[in-house]
Amino acid sequence: MTPSHIAFIMDGNGRWAERRHLPRKYGHKMGTEALERTVEAAAECGIKTVTFYAFSTENWSRPQSEIDYLMDTFRKFLARKNDYQEKNYRLVFIGNLGKLPQDIADSCRDAMARTESNTGLTVVIAMNYGSWEEITSAVNQLLAQGKTQVTEQDIVRALYTSTVSFPDLVVRTGGEIRLSNFLLLQSAYSELLFTDTLWPDFDKKELKKVIEIYSKRVRKFGGLGGDHVEA
């Protein structure tokens, strides 16, 4: 089966550039192109939701020049939000937007409001996102509402992902085998896939490969899975 929601940890931009003796920022530039390619490929493959990890709460520890370049990349991406509107895509930003430069935060909120009722592909961008920050913010939100007891549903509603399904598949490019603080609760039962492909090389062919691998996985959710027949 085709996954309904794929979440990508877009890793390997820097190494892609370093291998070509180019500045790391060139890898981020090519990484943005890979994101745009993947959005279109996902829509063509019938996927309903794609999530991209663009900047983590830990990425602030990078050199300021790289952070500045990434912020400019986000500005350029946001400048094209009308294309998303025209394509009927819904844009959702997850993460602590308040800590981003004001113009980026405003632009993210504007893009979300404008595309909120679109019915095509949902494109989720995780920006200044970290699961620990998300869960801390959710707990504080629930405390502020005066809650002394919470249900699982209260927590789901207080997460940044409240309007989005949980990922069926989490793909990390770049060869590292870790989640780096990404959707830790939401991926509790996701299939995980790690590929050595560096993010700037990701394309429709790679997407089809991951969909093919996913389609052979048996999801059990604690049960016995698919077509198990009682003996």
Decide if 59 is catalytic.
yes
The span of 76-84, 112-120, 137-145, 174-182 binding ligand IPE (CB under 6 A) equals 174-182
Is 130 near ligand IPE (CB under 6 A)? no
Choose the one of ligand IPE, Mg ion, none that binds residue 131, judging by a C-beta under 5 to 8 angstroms depending on kind: none
Torsion of CA 126, 183, 42, 124, to 10 degrees: -30
Q: Backbone phi, then psi, for 5, in 5-degree steps? A: -135, 120
CA distance 64 to 102: 17
- Which of residues 156 and 184 has its CB atom nearest to ligand IPE in the complex? 184
**The one segment of 5-13, 39-47, 207-215, 223-231 that binds Mg ion by CB under 5 A:** 5-13
Structural contact between residues 98 and 150, judged by C-beta atoms closer than 8 angstroms: no
Stretch that binds ligand IPE, among 108-116, 132-140, 170-178, 214-222 (CB under 6 A): 170-178
Q: Are 24 and 14 in contact (CB under 8 A)?
A: yes
Residue 56 within binding range of ligand IPE, rule CB under 6 A? yes
Q: Does 11 bind Mg ion (CB under 5 A)?
A: yes
Size, binding site for ligand IPE by CB under 6 A: 17
How distant, in Å, are the alpha carbons of 56, 65, 204 from that of 211?
A: 25, 36, 10
As measured in angstroms, the least distance from the Cβ of 60 to Mg ion is: 14
Q: Is 17 an interacting residue with respect to Mg ion (CB under 5 A)? A: no
Known active-site residue 11:
yes
Q: Is 54 in the site for Mg ion (CB under 5 A)?
A: no
**Which amino acid does the sequence have at 198?**
L
β-bridge mates for residue 172, sequence order: 9, 194
Tell me the CA distances in angstroms from 210 to 15, 104, 170, one per residue in order: 22, 32, 10
Choice between 33 and 44, CB closer to ligand IPE: 33
d(CA 84, CA 112): 11
Active site (catalytic) residues? 11, 59
Binding site for Mg ion (CB under 5 A): 11
Binding site for ligand IPE (CB under 6 A): 9-15, 53-56, 59, 70, 174, 176, 178, 180
